[in-house]
Amino acid sequence: MLKNIISGIKAYFGAFTLISKLKLWKYFAIPMLISFITAIIIFGSAYGLSDNIGGFIAKIWIWDWGKETFSSISNFIGGLIIVAIGLILFKHIIMALSAPFMSPVSEKIEAHFTGNPLHSHRDTTFMQQLLRGIKINGRNLVMELLLTIPILLLKFIPVVNIFSTILLFAVQAYYAGFGNMDYTLERHYQYKESLQFVRKHRGLAIGNGIVFILFLLVPVVGVILVLPLSVTAASTLTVEKLNVSKV
């Protein structure tokens, strides 16, 4: 697992060079615009809601003693909830809507590494790619929310809340990497087969997703570049694993 996580992270090192070499930047224009607009809408709304959620949580504490401390903790947790859910919504929305634009990128990367001509695998239309992206990311969105909510509740437990932060980050990373890998998998596998493939290589998904999430912490530039670099890195790794599994 750890070895695969490291491999997922290291794949980013050559991503920028590969994009330039294969002249892929033009394919990222619309996805980068989608990322920028979605980020403004989601994180702008999240900023305004954080205090409201913190105040709602603070009402749980009905006693006067310790109320100020609990209110401070509630505001922090409220902000964390907003950030976590905001990141979840952001990544699944942009990955779903960008699917038709990322699939050709993934295909060109695969052709580069394998020598196989374009469309040598299952050929899908723009609409099929979009629907596949919505289906995969819709499923992942529900699963991630179901896992995230109980993890966030652990924030109220001292000591345990330290480990819950790590667990929350790992869950976020896994589903981000999952979406990036599926741009390649959709040409090779049906829906259920793709789920099995990513579960088998969950370390690669987590490694790819770790850098994805960290990119989002970089103002403006991170939001714009996150898809080009993460999809390129994920496609490189996924193609490699697909070829190994077929040998």
In this prediction, residue 217 has a pLDDT band, given cuts at 50, 70 and 90, of confident
> Is pLDDT larger for residue 176 or for residue 125?
176
> Is pLDDT larger for residue 223 or for residue 136?
136
Give the separation between CA 159 and CA 171, rounded to whole angstroms.
19
Stretch among 39-53, 89-103, 218-232, 233-247 having the lowest mean pLDDT: 39-53
| Block residue for tokens 């193609």 | 239
| Intra-chain end-to-end CA distance of the chain, in Å | 22
pLDDT in tens, 23-68: 999 888 888 888 888 888 877 776 666 666 666 666 666 666 666 6
Give the separation between CA 156 and CA 160, rounded to whole angstroms.
8
Stretch among 63-67, 123-127, 131-135, 188-192 having the lowest mean pLDDT: 63-67
Pure H helices in 98-220: 99-114, 126-153, 160-185, 191-200, 202-216
* Domain coordinates in residue numbering, the chain: 2-246
Residue pair 208/181 in contact (Cβ under 8 Å)? The answer is yes
Q: Which of 138, 123, 217, 148 is nearest to 178 (CA)?
A: 138
Identify the pLDDT of residue 127: 84
Highest mean pLDDT among 1-10, 31-40, 78-87, 213-222: 1-10
